[in-house]
Amino acid sequence: MSSAGMNLTLKVWRQASSDARGEFRTYNLPNVSEHMSFLEMLDVLNERLIQMCEEPVAFDHDCREGICGMCSLMINGQAHGPDKETTTCQLHMRRFRDGDTIVIEPWRAKAFPVLRDLVVDRSPLDRIMSKGGFVSVNTGNAQDANCLPVPKRDQEKAMDAAACIGCGACVAACKNASAMLFVSAKVSQLALLPQGKPERGRRVLNMVAQMDEEGFGSCTNTSECEAACPMGVSVTNIARLNREYLRATLCSEDTV
Three-class DSSP labels, 166-231? CCCHHHHHCCCCECHHHHHHHHHHHHCCHHHCCCHHHHHHHHHHHHHHHCCECCCCCCHHHHHCCC
Residue 27 main-chain phi, psi, to 5 deg: -130, 135
Please report the pLDDT score of residue 256 as a whole number: 46
What the chain holds in terms of domains, given with CATH numbers, is 6-115 (3.10.20.30), 122-136+149-250 (1.10.1060.10)
The model's pTM is 0.90
Alpha-carbon distance values, 12 to 9, 29, 46, 114, 234 (Å):
10, 12, 12, 14, 31
% of the chain exceeding 70 in pLDDT? 91
Span 172-229, pLDDT tens digits: 999 999 999 999 999 999 999 888 888 899 999 999 999 999 999 999 999 999 999 9
Q: Which letter, b or e, does each residue of 53-78 get, where b requires 16 or more Cβ atoms within 10 Å of its Cβ?
A: eeeebbbbbeebebebbbbbbbbeeb
3-class secondary-structure state, position 256: coil
Whether residue 147 has pLDDT greater than 80: no
